[in-house]
Structure 1
């Protein structure tokens, strides 16, 4: 199923935000990557792709449980939740 078809099938349950190119400050996921790189996985050097995958999932689950940082990523990007 194509992305547009999938979004249409959700009957308005999600909203698509179109972001200008080359504007990382408007994209909340850029704040997630920054937090991830600086605080959740600093100096992490995996021995395999599986190790990287496992640690990435663990650290993103940890971040997901903390609602305030996630909200702040949206606020910094000036998007409403």
Structure 2
């Protein structure tokens, strides 16, 4: 069964995707800077592929006390 939760239009602390965005930004900023759009795309895809193999990490995005209602 799927239950739909409508999130406020702008409340980043209540949106699980903001935790993903934070991790992605951290990854992109670490190491050598991407000097082209192609390099940035490559770094982003690499991060997302690694995340696919870490379901526990993804589930943790929904376990923060402020957004546990969405899990």
Q: TM-score range by the shorter chain?
A: 0.7 to 0.9
> TM-score by structure 2 length?
0.74
1:23 corresponds to: 11
Please identify runs of 4+ aligned residues in structure 1 that moved more than 6 A. none
Q: For the residues of structure 2 that align with 1:51 and 1:75, how far apart are their CA atoms?
A: 32
Q: Report the count of equivalent residues.
A: 67
TM-score between the two structures when normalised by the length of structure 1: 0.66
Counting only pairs closer than 5 Å after superposition, residues 1-81 of structure 1 correspond to structure 2 as 16-38=4-26, 40-43=27-30, 44-76=32-64, 77-78=67-68, 79-80=70-71
CA distance in 2 between counterparts of 1:49 and 1:41 reads 12
Q: Which has the larger radius of gyration?
A: 1
SS in structure 2 at match of 1:51: helix
Whole-angstrom distance in 2 between the partners of 1:42 and 1:69:
20
